[in-house]
Structure 1
């Protein structure tokens, strides 16, 4: 007789929600490690990106090789464009993390859900529902609030964060297309990590690597571990949890980013920024409803 606890829908939902909250904590901690790497050791965007994707490439590639998985693909061109888009978005995202408060950077990254909805309408010719329209409009209102005029170089970083969200939305669209072609998730992530490692490695060599010491190595490993842990936990969350609940909880990354930003970096957001973040989060939650 099967164990009822293994098939109980409520228990599955609980673990799905738990895994997603833990994934959000990992992603927020990754942002902390990235920001500290730039502040404490003056690492630039390209070398931080290099260490982060190299870690995933080695671990994922090694485990896949041990399991005897087939690295060959019939869709090299599709993988290339998806991986290129993901690599560029990652460069931009890490730059934004180094130049903006953690909560703002995390929120701008999450605008990918808004752009994914918009691109699905434009490219895939999907017919939007009333909720989809409300989500898109609400999302862009939140972006306008968040991108209020600021001093110094923050405006450029915010615009770059928004562009990163748009490119990430396109990359997720490509992931969807590759999945429909039968490509497994591990292979999609592997080729993204491979191309990102090559591009970031070349750029890091050109701009110069920061000498590694035991302390900086901790932050490098921390970035890799939390990024990979967040990816795995998020995958498990969607496998066993209720999709809408899990997608809604994915915005806990922003909440954790606000807390870590205030605690570790003394970041304080004004009420208008918090309003913009709230509106964008509400838009993302709405976009998850059918």
Structure 2
């Protein structure tokens, strides 16, 4: 048991580092090369789609599914969330944009209460209140700046992420394998972002952009694989809690590589959102006994 926890924790820490590395690459590509979020999302999604498609052919598996429209709903919600996350990385400080993307735990709680009509346990209410407090703390500095619209747009990505995660849960309960869910999401994100990038304009492949493109695709792919493996071999609560290291690593990267300053209110907001995610990951007593 201890070995599994350590192994899962190690893989999740690697995943968090890779996700944070992808975030800083996206931010720098947008800032220095003026690449828009649509083409960045395209390169982020293309490699996983190709790798999973090739692996499927080699293993002689099938991409056919009886839950096609369920995949489409999940994929469109996930694609929208990805584009909004990349928008935030392009327009907001790194720690702020990543934290706003991780507010999905708050919206999952709200959707569970008002949409799914579930009666949440006490820990969900605690996580919800902590998450909402964190959002309020992070929004306050935005009201004093000219970035309120960008902040609200990025925050809306948390809503779409929540929808996507609820759809993933439904598809998983119906027996859909994780690789097929990831493939449909990657394929839809690739096609959608390609259309949007064509409309808004491509920067094109250059010697300057190629390292960023390869880096974003590779870090995104290996981060996804490391995270999936962490949940497979590790303890779910520990892995889910450690996933919030992405926020911490991104904040550190922002300070070191971009020279960003994080104010006291943003720090308290980030901590509140992280704690909300950790609390929401705590298993129920009955579930822990099983």
TM tier, shorter chain? over 0.9
Give the structure 2 partner of residue 140 of structure 1.
132
Aligned: 1:28 with 2:20 = yes
- Please give the alpha-carbon distance, in whole angstroms, between the structure 2 residues aligned to 1:171 and 1:73: 18
- Please give the alpha-carbon distance, in whole angstroms, between the structure 2 residues aligned to 1:149 and 1:279: 16
Q: Is the 8 A contact 1:114 1:287 kept in 2?
A: no
TM-score for both structures, normalised by structure 1: 0.94
Given candidates 163, 168, 172, the residue that maps to 1:170 is 163
Give the structure 1 partner of residue 95 of structure 2.
103
Shift of the alpha carbon at 1:152? Answer: 4.7
Query: What is the correspondence of 1:1-290 to structure 2 with a 5 Å cutoff?
Result: 9-150=1-142, 151-289=144-282, 290=284
Q: Is the 8 A contact 1:109 1:164 kept in 2?
A: yes
Q: Is the 8 A contact 1:120 1:173 kept in 2?
A: no
1:95-148 per-position Cα deviation (integer Å, ceiling 9, x unaligned): 000111111111111111221122122333322111111110111011001111
1:27 is paired with a residue whose SS is: helix
Structure 2 gaps, min length 5: 285-290
RMSD value, Cα: 1.1
- Please give the alpha-carbon distance, in whole angstroms, between the structure 2 residues aligned to 1:178 and 1:122: 21
Q: Number of paired residues?
A: 282
- Please give the alpha-carbon distance, in whole angstroms, between the structure 2 residues aligned to 1:90 and 1:64: 24
- Please give the alpha-carbon distance, in whole angstroms, between the structure 2 residues aligned to 1:114 and 1:21: 23
Shift of the alpha carbon at 1:153? Answer: 3.8
- Please give the alpha-carbon distance, in whole angstroms, between the structure 2 residues aligned to 1:60 and 1:40: 31
Shift of the alpha carbon at 1:149? Answer: 4.1
Q: Is the 8 A contact 2:141 2:265 kept in 1?
A: no
